[in-house]
Structure 1
Amino acid sequence: MGNYIEYKDRVAFHPGYYIKEIIEELGLSQDDFAKRLGTTPKTLSVIINGGQRLSPDIAYKLSKMLGTSVEYWLNLQSIFDAAVTEMRAGEELEQERAILKMLGYSYFRDNFGLPNLPRQIDKQVAQVRRFLQVGSLTVLKNTDLAVSFRSASMEKDASTVVKSNAMLQIAVNEALETDAPKYNRARFERAVQSALVQTSNHDGFFEILREEFRQAGVVFVVLPNLSGSKTNGATKRVNERVMLMVNDRRLAADSFWFSLFHEIGHIMANDFGVSAEGDSGTKEELADAYARDMLVDPKAYATFVERGVFTSSEVCSFAKAIERDPGIVVGRLQKDGLVPYTDRVLNKMKKRYRVIVS
């Protein structure tokens, strides 16, 4: 930084700047001045170059040696500190503006009721900062802010990290604000079994799931997708509870339920983190297998597939037999390549949900 800074239309000088001038006026070397002052040449050099704050002890010694007051030197340091703080705040605000541009203020305004502030960027920054409950939007750049990223590729894209962290911060805040007991795995397992029969309850399942999960110490959060976050879902330990978040990017019922049970699979494996598009690896495969087998009984499915008849009536009969929504069965058949994604008749069975915001 040096022993002075220039910011906008002002210049602020570190006390070391003035000490250097005094040494030159006295015609002394820095070593001689340090000895007379009662400090080391190294300490004096660091202060002169602005690399260290002026301590009360050095201020006291300067006042005695030069006939000035202690307050004079400490005031010089305070003025310099204030200028540095202002400069850094200005630089940080510039970064926050850039981060808000990545996020888009409309996401928060339209989905969470933040006020409409057209062209008032700094006020928008303050609103989002307060809503997310962070000291600065710059913390959203940190890959270890809230939840670890399972995919290393996500960490390489700054915009993806920022957007994912924003969603995670919203979910974590909701988990912190929700009155829920300590996480109880056995009770959660029972709640998960109960959730399976809700797949056909398209209009009322969410509140039922949220309450049953809450009683097990799992806070279920569904958020509007923030485009570019590449985040399918996330799990995190929050105090003694668990946060389970999915977004509404996949509005088709089969995709929604698979994403939900994929995250449940991670919780059951005691594996907490962010699930992203294109994730791979053993943990993701295990979570996929958990979701796949929980949603569609593997033995019953194998028998159904062996018959090889996938008409709408057969799909409905099978779905009813396993107590699942027919759209989930259609999605499984399409995923396995047994029926085409272009089958209009079967696609009509895949219910599309409205946007749900917790």
Structure 2
Amino acid sequence: MGDSVKNQYRPNYAILPGDVLSDELELREMSQQELSRRTGLTPKHIVSIIKGKSPITPETALKFERTIGMPANYWLNLESNYQEIKARLAEEERLEADLTWLKRVPVAAMAKLGWIERHKDKKGQLKEVLKFFGIASVDQWDDMWPRLSVAYRQSRQNTVFPEAVSAWLRKGELEAASIHCAPYNKPAFRRALDQIRALTDMPPQEFVPKMQALCAEAGVAVVFVPSLPKTGVSGATRWIHSNKAVIQLSLRYRSNDHLWFTFFHEAGHILLHGKKDLFIEKANNSSNGLDEEKEAEANHFAENELIPRRELDKLIESGARTKAAICAFAKQVGIAPGIVVGQLQHRGFLDFKHCNDLKYFYSWDHEL
């Protein structure tokens, strides 16, 4: 049965029922006016059917059966086939136009990661990508990601495609859907962050499941999604609905200071900002211009949550730059030494080349 469907003939033209009706009238030497009198349909309606502007309805088909003599199902099948082929041909034209959009989607990378199947036929590939996004056509992409598209176009980043970013975000949505979360509870999430902070010196295979479980209990799904070409993103935050938020982190991190800063930055968006906002962070921890003030607030939250500012100021004031002093301080405040190094480098107290061996460099599975 599969082969018969696969090899089914699909004509590349549509037979207009009105042409058939016109031919049948000519064979019977019946004028349109006479058909109008015999069927009770107005002459204007008859002309509209012949020109293909009006469809042949079941009621009209029955009238044609009685006046012309051909079965009603003949006319209905003719109309049905015409409409189906016309729609299919229109879709083919639309798909042809949408292939330009497809070029901006990192299809090869998505297929390599197993997100979609690879197709040799470009139109088949486009349909596969639309299925991944869960949309009927490219027109709906603009409806689903309007703010994303505007933000990236305003930023004039020629190396970043909003289509690619949306593919990364879509994968995060799909991953988050499989994580069962309790209804969002702000105090519970705040408490979860205090517990998660103690996980910063663990390897990913240990901290990831614990982080995800603690956040899920508070109504936040945490997903790790490999980065795609032409995205340049490190993290994102948005709300699936009023009781479930999503923190999405890419796998482009190599050091623990970058990962944990981004996580707490995204957590800051959840605690401090509205549920209708979409926040996307670039790999260099800068925003895409969606709201600079809110990004600054999230940065401040992450910095203070990782290392209380007063404590970090004391370390800087002491002038201690040795690895031993950094490790002692990290133990004192209960944080991984690499995070202290990252914060000191960010504050300009340490050169970006110094003490990087205190950082934990991750090796992620499923990287490109």
Q: What TM-score do the two structures reach when normalised by structure 1?
A: 0.77
Alpha-carbon contact 1:235-1:263 (below 8 Å) kept? no
Alpha-carbon contact 2:109-2:229 (below 8 Å) kept? no
Q: What do the CA deviations read for 1:247-279 (whole angstroms, capped 9, x no partner)? A: 112322111111111211111123442404342
1:350 equivalent in structure 2: 359
2:5 equivalent in structure 1: none
Q: Cα 1:259–1:83, aligned 2, differ >3 Å: closer, same or farther? A: same
Residue type of the alignment partner of 2:14: A
2:260 equivalent in structure 1: 257
Residue type of the alignment partner of 1:270: G
Partner SS for 1:330? helix
Q: What do the CA deviations read for 1:12-43 (whole angstroms, capped 9, x no partner)? A: 123244456778986668xx987886556776
Q: What do the CA deviations read for 1:185-220 (whole angstroms, capped 9, x no partner)? A: 222111111111111123421121111112222221
Residue type of the alignment partner of 2:363: R
Shift of residue 290, structure 1, vs aligned partner: 1.6
Residue type of the alignment partner of 1:309: A
Aligned equivalents of 2:357, 2:44: Cα separation in 1 = 78
Q: Cα 1:45–1:182, aligned 2, differ >3 Å: closer, same or farther? A: farther
Aligned equivalents of 1:12, 1:159: Cα separation in 2 = 42
Residue ranges of structure 2 left out of the alignment (5+ in a row)? 1-8
Q: Cα 1:141–1:287, aligned 2, differ >3 Å: closer, same or farther? A: farther
Q: Cα 1:302–1:237, aligned 2, differ >3 Å: closer, same or farther? A: same
Q: Cα 1:336–1:119, aligned 2, differ >3 Å: closer, same or farther? A: same
Alpha-carbon contact 1:234-1:275 (below 8 Å) kept? yes
Residue type of the alignment partner of 1:351: Y
Partner SS for 1:12? coil
Aligned equivalents of 1:159, 1:26: Cα separation in 2 = 65
Alpha-carbon contact 1:141-1:161 (below 8 Å) kept? no
Residue type of the alignment partner of 1:78: S
Alpha-carbon contact 1:197-1:323 (below 8 Å) kept? yes
Partner SS for 2:80? helix
Alpha-carbon contact 1:108-1:128 (below 8 Å) kept? no
Residue type of the alignment partner of 1:305: I
Stretch of structure 1 that moved more, 216-225 or 98-107: 98-107
Q: Cα 1:139–1:323, aligned 2, differ >3 Å: closer, same or farther? A: farther
Q: What do the CA deviations read for 1:305-352 (whole angstroms, capped 9, x no partner)? A: 3334333233223222221222222222222333322x2x31222221
Answering whether residue 306 of structure 2 is matched by residue 298 of structure 1, we say no
Stretch of structure 1 that moved more, 190-199 or 318-327: 318-327
Partner SS for 2:202? coil
Shift of residue 44, structure 1, vs aligned partner: 5.8
Residue type of the alignment partner of 2:203: H
Shift of residue 171, structure 1, vs aligned partner: 1.8
Q: How many residue pairs align between the two structures?
A: 343
2:3 equivalent in structure 1: none
Match of 1:208 among 207, 210, 217: 210
Aligned equivalents of 2:183, 2:344: Cα separation in 1 = 38
Partner SS for 1:245? strand
Aligned equivalents of 1:258, 1:319: Cα separation in 2 = 15
Shift of residue 224, structure 1, vs aligned partner: 0.8
Q: Cα 1:28–1:217, aligned 2, differ >3 Å: closer, same or farther? A: same
Aligned equivalents of 1:10, 1:219: Cα separation in 2 = 47
Q: Cα 1:167–1:262, aligned 2, differ >3 Å: closer, same or farther? A: same
Q: What TM-score do the two structures reach when normalised by structure 2?
A: 0.75
2:194 equivalent in structure 1: 193
Residue ranges of structure 1 left out of the alignment (5+ in a row)? 1-6
